[in-house]
Structure 1
């Protein structure tokens, strides 16, 4: 996608120096980091709102596969 942007020149120059990336690579990285940080924030908003079943057995999940005999609970 081709876009014309008005960017803070000093900020852009500093980011280019810090990353040693080309402009397009830098902008793609910045967008990825923004999306990643917003997704983390959304997950943090769920803190304290998730309730697990009282009979949930996390240890049973560790016994899902048995590579030695090739068996699996998924078979």
Structure 2
């Protein structure tokens, strides 16, 4: 790990500490960084999943079934 000097949004940092129960600022910043990267990676995997579903025609089938269910109400 390395030491970096950066400007932080102290209000956001305080909120992360309060919500996460982090004991130190470093712990809170690292938690927030991990959370952000995990969210972005998850979004990428979901996007790839939907892209594949559209290529296979599965999404169109699901949309067609959804419209049929909606019209049947």
TM-score (norm 1): 0.57
Runs of 4+ in 1 over 3 A off after TM superposition: none
Tell me, in whole angstroms, the C-alpha distance in 2 between the residues paired with 1:38 and 1:49: 18
More strand by share: 1
Structure 2 spans left out of the alignment, 5+ residues: 57-73
More helix by share: 2
TM-score (norm 2): 0.58
Q: Which is bigger in relative contact order (C-alpha 8 A, separation at least 6)?
A: 2
Question: Larger C-alpha radius of gyration, 1 or 2?
Answer: 1
How far has the Cα of 1:20 moved from its partner?
2.0
Count of aligned pairs = 52
| Residue of 13, 24, 38 corresponding to 2:40 | 38
For the aligned residue pairs, the C-alpha RMSD in angstroms reads 1.9
Tell me, in whole angstroms, the C-alpha distance in 2 between the residues paired with 1:3 and 1:25: 14
Structure 1 spans left out of the alignment, 5+ residues: 53-75
